[in-house]
Amino acid sequence: MKKKRENKSSRVKIICLISHRRVVARVKALAREVSRDYRGKNPLVLGILKGSFIFMADLVREMNIPVECGFIQASSYGRGTVSSGKVKIAGLEKLPIRDREIILVEDIIDTGLTLKEISWILKKNGAGKIKICALLDKPARRKADIHPDYLGFTVPDHFLVGFGLDWDEKYRELPYVGYIKK
C-alpha cells in the first residue's frame, strides 16, 4: 500500500513505493540467485557510484560466495530529474578487469545509456563476461538495448529516491524507495 511520509529535513513529501521490508527481502533473494550462478567463479562485483552503494552493500553481505568489490563513478543527471544523455565515467584505471567475470551493480536503469557506455568501455578494456544486476528497472524511458540479468523491481515512470537513489544529492539515506510528490 502507498504511504505518504514527510521527510524530516524538508517539507517535500515522499510517497513510499517499495517498503524497506520488500526491498530487503528482494535483495536477499537476488543475492541467493547471484551466488548460485557464480559459485566457484570469484567475480568482480562492480558498483556504479553513487546510487548503487546501499544496494551493493546489502547484496554482497547476503551473498555466500567470495567476491571482489570495486566501484566506478558515472554521472549523467546534474541537478535535474531528466538525464542529460551524456555519461561521464571515472575510476576504471586501477580495476583488475582483464578477463574477469563482472557483475555490474546499478541502482536503476532508466534510459540504459549509462550501462551501455560502461559495458562498452569494460569490453574495450578486456573484461570477460559482464552481467547486470539492478535494483530497479524503469523501462518506459529506455533508449539503449539494455536488460538486467538480475532485477529487483520493475518501476513506473516516476523520479524515485531512497535506498541510494538521490534527487540533487538528497534522500539517498531513506530506507525505502519512494517518489517525490509534486
- Size of interface with ligand IMP, in residues (CB under 6 A): 19
Measure the CA–CA gap between 156 and 175, rounded to whole angstroms. 19
Contact between residue 150 and residue 132 where contact means Cβ atoms under 8 Å apart: yes
DSSP 8-class letter at 135: E
C-alpha cell at 109: 536503469
182 upstream amide cis, omega within 30 of 0:
no
Q: Is beta strand 88-90 parallel, antiparallel or unpaired with respect to 68-75?
A: antiparallel
Closest approach of Mg ion to the CB of residue 51, in Å: 4
What is the smallest separation between the CB atom of 147 and ligand IMP, expressed in angstroms? 12
Task: List the single partner that 111 binds among Mg ion, ligand IMP, none, CB under 5 to 8 Å by kind.
Answer: ligand IMP
Q: Binding partner of residue 159 among Mg ion, ligand IMP, none, CB under 5 to 8 Å per kind?
A: ligand IMP
Taking phi first (over 0 means left), then psi (-120 to 50 degrees means alpha), and beta for anything else, what does residue 26 get?
A: alpha
x/- mask, ligand IMP, residues 75-104, rule CB under 6 A, reads: -xx-----x---------------------
In the complex, minimum distance from the CB of residue 36 to ligand IMP, in angstroms, rounded to a whole number: 26
Is 160 a binder of ligand IMP (CB under 6 A)?
yes
State the residue number with the nearest CB to Mg ion: 51
Q: 38 vs 55, which CB is nearer to ligand IMP? A: 55
Q: Closest Cα to residue 59, out of 130, 164, 173?
A: 164
Choices 14-22, 26-34, 36-44, 159-167 (CB under 6 A): range interacting with ligand IMP: 159-167
- Cβ-contact 126, 99 below 8 angstroms: yes
Residue span binding ligand IMP (CB under 6 A) among the ranges 26-34, 56-64, 119-127, 160-168: 160-168
Of the candidate residues 110, 130, 133, 177, the single one contacting ligand IMP (CB under 6 A) = 110
DSSP E strands in 7-118: the ranges are 13-18, 44-49, 68-75, 88-90, 102-109
Contacts with ligand IMP by CB under 6 A lie at 48, 51, 76-77, 83, 106-114, 138, 159-160, 165-166
